[in-house]
Amino acid sequence: MQWKAFHLVSQHESVVTTYSSPQSIEARSELFQRLRTYAATPEETERSLGLFIRGSLLARFLAVAEIYKRIVPLPGIVMDIGTWRGQTAVLCENFRAIFEPLHFNRRIVCFDTFEGYKGFSQVDRPTELHKDGTYQVGGEQYADYLNSLLMLHEKNNAMGHNNGKHRVVAGDCRTTIPAFFEENPGEFVSLAFFDLNSFQPTAEAFKMVHGRLVPGGIVAFWQLTRDNIPAEGMVYVNEILDRYDHRIERSAYYPGLCFLTK
The residues that touch ligand SAM, with contacts defined as CB under 6 A, are 82-85, 87-88, 111-113, 116-119, 135, 172-174, 195-198, 201, 222
CB-nearer residue toward ligand SAM: 48 or 121: 121
DSSP letter for 56, please: H
Residue 36: CB minimum distance to ligand SAM, A: 21
* Min CB(162)–ligand SAM separation in Å: 26
Min CB(242)–ligand SAM separation in Å = 25
Q: Which is nearer to ligand SAM, 162 or 200 (CB)?
A: 200
Q: Tell me how far apart the alpha carbons of residues 163 and 161 are, in angstroms, rounded to a whole number.
A: 6
* Residue closest to 205 by CA, chosen among 224, 218, 192, 186: 192
How would you classify the pairing of strands 213-221 and 189-194? parallel
* Residue closer to ligand SAM (CB basis): 171 or 217: 171
**How many other C-beta atoms can be found within 10 angstroms of the C-beta atom of residue 54?**
13
CB-nearest residue to ligand SAM? 82
Q: How far is the CB of 182 from ligand SAM (least distance, A)?
A: 17
* Identity of the amino acid at 11: Q
Minimum separation from the CB atom of position 134 to ligand SAM (A): 7
Query: Which CB, 17 or 238, lies closer to ligand SAM?
Result: 17
**Distance of closest approach, residue 95 Cβ to ligand SAM, in angstroms:** 15
Looking at the Cβ atoms of 38 and 172, the one nearer to ligand SAM is 172
Polymer length of the chain: 262
Choice between 113 and 261, CB closer to ligand SAM: 113
Least Cα distance to 193 among 45, 94, 63, 102 occurs for 63
The set of residues, in sequence order, having a beta carbon less than 8 Å from that of 6 and lying 6+ positions away, is 136, 137, 138
**Three-state secondary-structure class, residue 114:** coil
CA distances, 220 to each of 53, 97, 107 (Å): 23, 21, 17
Compute the distance between CA of residue 256 and CA of residue 60 in angstroms, rounded to an integer.
10
- Whether the Cβ atoms of residue 116 and residue 87 lie closer than 8 Å to each other: no
